[in-house]
Amino acid sequence: MNSPSTTIQNAVADVADVSRPCGSASEQLRREVGLLAGRFASLLRSRFSGAEQPVVAALAFLDYAYAAVSDNGIEPRASVTDYPLERLVLAFELSPCEIDLLLLAGMAEEHEGYADIFRTLHPTGQPYPTVGLAAQLICGNDDERVALRELLASGEVTGSGVLQVSGDGPFYSRNLVLLDQLWPTLHGIDAWPQSVVRLTQEVMTHGLQQWLDSADVLGARQALQSNNRCTVLLCADDEAVAVQRAMALLNAAQLDGLPIQLPQEHDATLDALIQIHCLVRGVVPVLKVPHQEGDKRAVLPVFSRYPYPLVMCGRVGCGEMSGERPLVNLVVAALSPVALRDMWRGLLPEMAEQASLLAARYPVEPVHAAQLVRDLRFNHRFDAHDQAVAPFSIEHVAARVRARSATTIGGGVQLIRPVADWSQLVLAEAKLAQLSEAVNRLELQAKVLDEWRFLNGRRGARGVRMLFAGPSGTGKTLSAEVLANALGVDLLMVDLSKVVSKWIGETEKNLAEVFDVAERAKAVLLFDEADALFGKRTEVADAHDRYANLETAYLLSRLERFDGLAILSTNLRQNIDSAFIRRLEFIVEFEEPAREQRFALWRCHLPQGVPVADDVCLEQLAAQFPIVGGLIRNAAVAAAFLAAGEGDVISKRHFIQAIRREYEKTGKAYRDVSSAAAQRSIQAFNRRE
């Protein structure tokens, strides 16, 4: 035997702490350990008859530990299924021998006195019980030793991962070690291994009742409530959405769930940690399967020995499922407008009358809606100028949506905060009517698509796709900004330099991320210079043509599935593939402005109260210079800087100089309509006025 340690001698004085209760689960576990300590003391007395100091100290500690629990008259192993230890025993049907092995391995973590006894008895001085010590404590003959060896090789206590036989030496000199952090968990302490990444997930059921009452979900709920071995797989476009729905499903089934993030690569050790720690806590593991890049698919955990239901959450086609566990598959669809209306009405009763509009503008999951409402209520407390008006408005909600969406914007898109409104848009009445109709198409979906059931079940029915075609500077980007502002969302402009890639498959991957970002942010998606992406497909002459056509085919499919407002902007409509044209709800042709529209644009781009000389006649500028709105804006700003540099008011000379430069920048010959013709045009305009 090794030399004695003062730890055992000093631990005798602390043995009263072993029996001090700290909750029913802990009290039960300490009773079990104390009773096993009595058997351990009997073993030492039978093996060592001398008065060696280590044995005396060990016997003193073990006797005190046994006396602390044996004198209270309580029978050991009272079956209480709410205790972590009993959950473990019942789940794997552990035999009395397996329970003894579990308790023996846990004694090293129960008190330093036990650990030092094991260190004293261990062949290499380690603070763990060995298989040989377990054999002497449990087995009475050679047949029982053989049975013990078989039990440790293939029994449930080791097969499940609860107990490990570690070490490289001879079998009987190897250590018995418990699963990481299992012992404090059996005490009722919420201790977790570092490798298990738990997620914080609020359970939110507003707006989900229709989904929870559907036939498929009711079947999954019954499977969970049966408490039988099965796997419920929830698939959605976003694995985070699948986790949210899973928590709502478990709540409806009156079960506790624990969301856990699976790593890209996991092994049997991590699987054992997850299933055992969830089992002893009495919670259903909800496993979030990570999204794999490209065509790679995850190999999902098997959990073949786990005796209860578990839930896996991921994207459609997230991984390969194997094993004998029965599978219940649920594909999560987006909430219907009726459900979204109920959700907003429940979360924001102050705006119940506008619930349909909120549902149309912000079709988000309940958990995300709850976050927005919390943001809204918190920020409204500090918005002093709104205290005298109605508590909330659509504009308040829009501000919170924009604030949240800014945190989800990734590469490939440029975020534009819309500030332009309808008053800044100078277009023909017919064009303005088309733009207004597009907004109505998004906001009136509840009536047309749900009450009247148009396009029932059709893919992409809730999205709106538009093409803005026309020369540069005619107001295409400005119109997109106005629409975003009218809808109370952000405008996301696709950055083609970060999306288009020469590598095969990378463009589709980048585009998928762009669409996902826009859907998460509930933003208007603008493809400027869209002919670069949505160009006509060509005959396949080589591999490059084939992959270019595949990119176009992907865009067709993804654009059709987009449930929001997507705008394609181009100067060359004839270059857009006809397949895209067929899928567009609106095509708005932007033309160069007429004289009356140019006059309105000049007025729009000169702020009220700006110092302008008496020789400036906006009607004459509009008549003399047939330029588009973008150039008018540039010229107005440039003229202001020219005047400010001279310390003067803005005169006609400044405007003429700025307009001439705009002509030079565009490569066009400077064109000035004669004063007489301009004057006649002005007189005709005034007569119409």
Per-residue pLDDT tens digits for 358-398: 988 888 899 889 999 999 999 887 765 545 455 788 888 98
User: What's the confidence (pLDDT) of residue 581?
Assistant: 85
Per-residue pLDDT tens digits for 298-314: 788 889 889 999 999 99
Average pLDDT, the chain: 85
User: What's the confidence (pLDDT) of residue 5?
Assistant: 40
User: What's the confidence (pLDDT) of residue 687?
Assistant: 52
Q: Which of 191, 251, 194 is nearest to 25 (CA)?
A: 191
User: What's the confidence (pLDDT) of residue 542?
Assistant: 44
3-class SS at 163?
strand
User: What's the confidence (pLDDT) of residue 679?
Assistant: 55
Segment among 243-247, 344-348, 458-462 with least mean pLDDT: 458-462
pLDDT exceeds 90 at position 404: no
Residue reference for tokens 């351990």: 40
pLDDT exceeds 90 at position 677: no
Q: 337 or 689: whose pLDDT is higher?
A: 337
Per-residue pLDDT tens digits for 110-164: 999 999 999 999 999 999 999 999 999 999 899 999 999 999 999 999 999 999 9
Segment among 1-10, 211-220, 262-271, 331-340 with least mean pLDDT: 1-10
pLDDT exceeds 70 at position 689: no
Mean pLDDT along residues 193-210: 93
pLDDT exceeds 90 at position 638: yes
146/493 Cα distance (integer angstroms): 72
496/533 Cα distance (integer angstroms): 8
Helices (H) and strands (E) in the chain, counts: 30, 16
List CB contacts of 413: < 8 A, sequence separation 6 or more.
492, 493, 494, 495, 514, 517, 518, 525
Per-residue pLDDT tens digits for 491-526: 999 887 778 777 767 777 888 888 888 887 888 999
Q: What is the pTM of this model?
A: 0.80
Per-residue pLDDT tens digits for 412-436: 788 888 999 999 999 999 999 999 9
Q: Contact 565/442 with Cβ under 8 angstroms?
A: yes
480/373 Cα distance (integer angstroms): 27
Angle at 8 between CA 6 and CA 11, to 5 degrees: 105
What tokens appear for 400 in the block? 């919170």
What tokens appear for 379 in the block? 């920020």
3-class SS at 137?
helix
User: What's the confidence (pLDDT) of residue 2?
Assistant: 41
User: What's the confidence (pLDDT) of residue 673?
Assistant: 52
Rg (CA), the chain: 37
3-class SS at 164?
strand
Per-residue pLDDT tens digits for 535-569: 665 544 444 444 556 677 788 888 888 888 999 99
